[in-house]
Amino acid sequence: MKRALIIVVLAVAGFSTSAQAPKKLLFLTHAALYKHTSLGPAEKAVIELGKAGGFDVTTVEGYKQDSKQLDFSFLTPEYLNQFDGVMMMTNGNLPFTDAQKKNLVDFVRGGKALIGAHCASLTFYNYPAFGEMLGGYFNRNLPQGTIAVLKVEDSRHPATKMLGASWPLVDEFYLFGTAPWDEARPDENIDVLFKNKIPMGFSRDKVHVLLSLDTERMDLTKQPHLKRGGDYPQAWTKEVGNGRTFYTSLGHRDDIWSNDPVFRAHIAGGIRWALGLEQ
């Protein structure tokens, strides 16, 4: 009787028990614009993290497909619904049908998870409901190799609790569109790499920010797009209907996925939170 009571208490508190079946995560790495070399290492890392983190990972090696011949015919409602979450490290206006796009949003709103890594924010500029679900769209990147100091805005979240108050890191960091593209200001709120028009603006009020650039502690002499004291979120969460979204701009470097235990803990914590394995 005591053991049964303990299991019930743990379940109510949000902790997994040994009897709980692993969550199932689908990881998509299809690239319609630019094929990051880190996509393969990312798939390998997430599979490894899942084995220790209470979730099984299915990949379809989308990054190996030709960018002009991406095939999503497998992504039926029946196929998708066998998973507890979808992780995306994708880019471009992927050739989903309208029904597939809507089904992905409905999937998350219905209580499932969306995890976006790095270039996921360059996905579906032609489907604003996706951007609303993810939290924002890529506007521009800072120079690769930027030495940043990340301010930890939530030190209790599973994706950031291992970081302390700040996290110095070398990676490729993103800035996000702040408003829908307007023809009266054609050079603003547009993806500067591929010229996609941003359909909705990022707002701190619509997400829970976990990490942001600490410009007070960074060298900005070669950062013309940053202002001292400016607000530049890099990772956040969002409640979407009954589901959860976690996004991090990090993950450009190949080796960060395989050799950086702090980054791997950040990713694992975000996935586990989105899947409901941690509160």
199-258 pLDDT, tens digit per residue, is 999 999 999 999 999 999 999 999 999 999 999 999 999 999 999 999 999 999 999 999
Q: What is the pLDDT of residues 74-86, one digit of tens each?
A: 999 999 999 999 9
Mean pLDDT, the chain, rounded, equals 93
Domain 18-274 bears CATH identifier 3.40.50.880: yes
The C-alpha atoms of residue 260 and residue 263 are separated, in whole angstroms, by 5
Side-by-side strand order, sheet with 113-117 = 55-59, 23-28, 85-88, 113-117, 243-248, 233-240, 208-213, 146-152, 166-171
Model confidence, pTM: 0.92
Question: Helices 39-53 and 261-274, interaxial angle, to 10°?
Answer: 70
Q: What is the pLDDT of residues 253-279, one digit of tens each?
A: 999 999 999 999 999 999 999 999 998
- Residue 179 scores a pLDDT above 80: yes
Q: What is the pLDDT of residue 144?
A: 85
The C-alpha atoms of residue 122 and residue 107 are separated, in whole angstroms, by 20
Q: What is the pLDDT of residues 40-63, one digit of tens each?
A: 999 999 999 999 999 999 999 999
Q: Which of 278, 240, 14 is nearest to 107 (CA)?
A: 240
Structure tokens at 8: 């019930």
- Residue 167 scores a pLDDT above 60: yes
H or E element at residue 247: strand 243-248
Label residue 19 by pLDDT band (50, 70, 90).
Answer: low
Q: What is the pLDDT of residue 1?
A: 37
What are the helix (H) ranges across the chain? 2-13, 39-53, 77-80, 98-109, 128-134, 254-259, 261-274
Q: What are phi and psi of 90, to 5 degrees?
A: -120, 175
- Dihedral of CA atoms 207, 214, 147, 187 in degrees, nearest 10, equals 60
Label residue 3 by pLDDT band (50, 70, 90).
Answer: very low
Between the alpha carbon of residue 267 and those of residues 123, 128, 263, the distances in Å are 19, 25, 6
The end-to-end CA distance of the chain, in Å, is: 26
**Tokens 């993810």 belong to which residue?**
134
Ordered by start, the domain boundaries in the chain are: 18-274
Count Cβ atoms within 10 A of the Cβ of residue 275 and give its class: 0-12 exposed, 13-18 middle, 19 or more buried.
Answer: buried
